[in-house]
Amino acid sequence: MLVAGNWKMFKGPGETEAFLAAFEQPAGVEVVVCPPFVSLAAAVKGASVKSGVAVYAQNAHWESQGAYTGETSPEMLVELGVTGTLVGHSERRRLFGETDETVGRRARAALGAGLGVIACVGETLEQRESGDTELVLKIQVEAIGFAAGEHERLMLAYEPVWAIGTGRTATPEQAGEAHAFIKGLLDRPVLYGGSVKPENTAELLGQQGVDGALVGGASLEPDSFAAICRAAASIS
């Protein structure tokens, strides 16, 4: 069971160091934190004394170097001590023009550099209500599979876009159905992401095929994130 905290554009280096100093990691669960780029070095330093806490970036480019202003290569992340990265988060797709092709390219490059990858997929509310959830997931997952294959360091995260930062959460049954469908396309572990909180973690992660959680806002406080990790550990 793995629990990853995506901090988005929160926590500078000082706050990152303070979080990791206060965070009490429970046994029996793998923990990943994904801070902003400016806080990665501080996170690597803080995690070095926390056995079992890994540091992932929130994105990585598909080239090792070049004229790509504002981007960071997988090789740079490796040199920094980062062990993995997110790719394809719905906010990257919606706000910054990520496509299924670029998500696949980013995943392949990161895996090739030796990083772990959590590749995000998920449908909007409009797509779910129109009955297109499986079609959307099929296109997204197959693009990742075509680029990266069933790589041993690849994980997927199912994050229904309508449940991110809205307080809405997929029902355990909806999450289980989506995870089963995704695994039928690409045989890799799948995390659930979308308004995961301490009070709903056990029910969501208790569904067959749910291999962990990608946590947003509830991962920003050490006590809240630790409670989610404890709930995950209790069912792993």
* Active-site annotation holder among 89, 98, 123, 179: 89
Strands 212-215 and 2-6: parallel
Closest to 57 (Cα-Cα) out of 79, 28, 36: 36
Distance (Å, whole) CA 144 – CA 187: 12
Q: Please give the pLDDT value at position 236.
A: 61
**173 in active site:** no
Q: Give me the half-sphere count of Cα atoms (radius 13 Å) on the Cβ side of residue 118.
A: 32
pLDDT at 211 over 90: yes
> In the chain, count of helices (H) and strands (E)?
10, 8
Q: Please give the pLDDT value at position 69.
A: 97
Lowest-confidence pick of 15-29, 110-124, 154-168: 154-168
- Which helix (H) or strand (E) is 178 found in, with range? helix 172-185
What are the φ/ψ torsions at residue 53 (nearest 5 degrees)?
-95, 120
* Active-site annotation holder among 91, 151, 159, 179: 159
Stretch 104-128: mean pLDDT, rounded? 96
Domain residue spans of the chain: 2-235
Q: What is the pLDDT of residues 133-142, one digit of tens each?
A: 999 999 999 9
pLDDT at 168 over 80: no
Mean pLDDT for all residues in the chain: 94
Assigned CATH for 2-235? 3.20.20.70
**179 in active site:** no
Stretch 143-162: mean pLDDT, rounded? 95
Distance (Å, whole) CA 216 – CA 235: 21
Q: What is the pLDDT of residues 62-110, one digit of tens each?
A: 999 999 999 999 999 999 999 999 999 999 999 999 999 999 999 999 9
